[in-house]
């Protein structure tokens, strides 16, 4: 909870992320007054947050902040498993805790932090449960289904997880492969099931009698009446068309539709945005390129393989153009890549002390929480560059 202080600072204040919200110009080509272009799960959770914590800015944002805190903890456990070292796990989580985009998206009521939480929970399921594929594969399917049901951007994390599972199956013992394929299929089925289940309110709730509910003869699957499964399918195809059109159409916030790779140009209007995260973003790009091109140990280095498999799909949406906050899916693997480089430079080896007392483990976790919280809060104004206020 202490880490949440850094994300709770501006909850009750009007958001400074004005560019995160669409304005009236979108209505020129948006055929409906409702928010159907994204899946509903994260929006349902925001509604749950409002129901529990009150119909205020703080109430709408609190659950997202808790999700942001949880992602820091998840990355700590993921990195500790990958590196076999408490301090490398701490460093990865520390980088995520003070990363400005992660702080910003944790404190506004947007879909991305929910998507990131479920995505990281999916990776944690695969990595922390180790060889227990009968549990890890289905559980990761549930989590990635929830990530995609929060925002389609979670599909890139799903691709990374699918690559990892494929690698895991191909390098497993022959006698266990059939079982692994079966439980991977169960995970895939669960992912689809969670996504479809997230639309249950869309199918069963009927607000057509409300005078403010629009009637859309041309788009019956976009109104507030009851819908059937055919409407659900029509909606998915409409979402595809909408996303395609949306990403081919600019807004007055031109830099949001430019690749962050172009932000290095000083006169680029988007440059000040990315310079807030310059060290992590550009260093991770360099580390990833170096690892892909020159690291001959890639096949045997599990840490680098996982970090790259997570990182590469996450930055795919940014190659052409995309919102700045699309980068959020790539931030955790960026932290892992930076930690890999740091460990390589210092030649820090995994600790051989496998037997520690419960008290020592508790003290380490408390120290991690305390230090991360202090840095996240005390350096907030410096790191945020005055944007997130």
Q: What is the pLDDT along the chain (389 residues), one digit of tens a residue?
A: 444 444 444 444 433 333 333 333 333 334 444 567 889 899 889 888 888 888 888 888 888 888 998 999 999 999 998 888 888 899 889 888 888 778 888 888 888 899 999 999 999 999 888 778 888 899 999 999 999 999 998 988 898 888 888 888 887 777 778 888 898 899 999 999 999 999 888 888 776 666 555 555 566 667 777 778 888 888 888 888 877 776 665 554 555 555 555 555 555 555 555 555 556 666 777 777 777 766 544 455 677 778 888 888 887 766 655 566 777 888 898 888 888 877 776 664 444 444 455 555 565 555 555 555 555 544 444 444 443 43
C-alpha to C-alpha distance for 104 and 384, rounded to whole angstroms:
8
Token reading at 168 = 């895991």
CB 50 within 8 A of CB 59: yes
C-alpha to C-alpha distance for 89 and 108, rounded to whole angstroms:
27
Rounded to two decimals, what is the model's pTM?
A: 0.76
Q: Which of 387, 107, 170 lies closest to 273 in space, CA to CA?
A: 387
Distances, alpha carbon 149 to alpha carbons 64, 110, 384, in Å: 16, 14, 30
User: Locate tokens 């690749």: which residue?
Assistant: 259
DSSP 231: H
The 3-state DSSP class for residue 236 equals helix
């Amino acid at each position: 909870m202490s880490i949440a202080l850094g994300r709770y600072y501006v909850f009750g204040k009007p958001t400074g992320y004005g560019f995160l919200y669409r304005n009236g110009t979108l209505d020129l080509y948006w055929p409906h007054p409702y928010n159907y272009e994204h899946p509903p799960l994260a929006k349902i959770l925001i509604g749950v947050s409002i129901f529990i914590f009150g119909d205020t800015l703080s109430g709408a944002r609190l659950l997202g902040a808790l999700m942001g805190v949880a992602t820091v903890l998840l990355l700590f456990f993921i990195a500790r498993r990958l590196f076999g070292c408490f301090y490398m796990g701490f460093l990865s989580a520390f980088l995520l805790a003070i990363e400005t985009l992660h702080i910003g998206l944790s404190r506004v009521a947007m879909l991305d932090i929910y998507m990131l939480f479920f995505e990281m929970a999916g990776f944690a399921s695969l990595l922390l449960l180790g060889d227990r594929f009968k549990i890890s594969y289905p559980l990761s399917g549930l989590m990635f289904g929830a990530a995609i049901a929060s925002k389609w951007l979670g599909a890139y994390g799903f691709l990374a997880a699918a690559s990892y599972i494929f690698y895991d199956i191909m390098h497993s013992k022959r006698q266990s492969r059939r079982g692994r394929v079966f439980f991977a299929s169960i995970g895939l089925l669960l992912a689809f099931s969670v996504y479809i289940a997230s639309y249950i309110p869309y199918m069963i709730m009927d607000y057509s009698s409300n005078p403010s509910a629009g009637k859309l003869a041309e788009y019956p699957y976009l109104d507030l009446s009851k819908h059937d499964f055919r409407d659900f399918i029509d909606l998915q195809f409409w979402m595809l068309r909408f996303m395609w059109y949306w990403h081919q159409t600019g807004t007055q916030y031109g830099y949001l539709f430019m690749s962050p790779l172009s932000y290095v140009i000083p006169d680029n209007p988007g440059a000040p945005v990315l310079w807030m995260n310059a060290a992590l973003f550009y260093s991770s790009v360099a580390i990833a390129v170096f690892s892909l091109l020159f690291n001959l140990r890639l096949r045997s280095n599990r840490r680098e393989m996982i970090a790259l498999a997570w990182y590469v799909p996450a930055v795919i949406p940014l190659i052409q153009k995309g919102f700045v906050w699309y980068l959020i899916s790539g931030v955790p693997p960026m932290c892992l890549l930076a930690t890999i480089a740091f460990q390589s430079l210092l030649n820090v080896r995994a600790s051989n002390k496998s037997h520690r007392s419960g008290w020592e483990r508790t003290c380490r976790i408390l120290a991690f929480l305390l230090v991360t919280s202090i840095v996240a809060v005390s350096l907030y104004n410096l790191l945020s560059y005055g944007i997130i206020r």
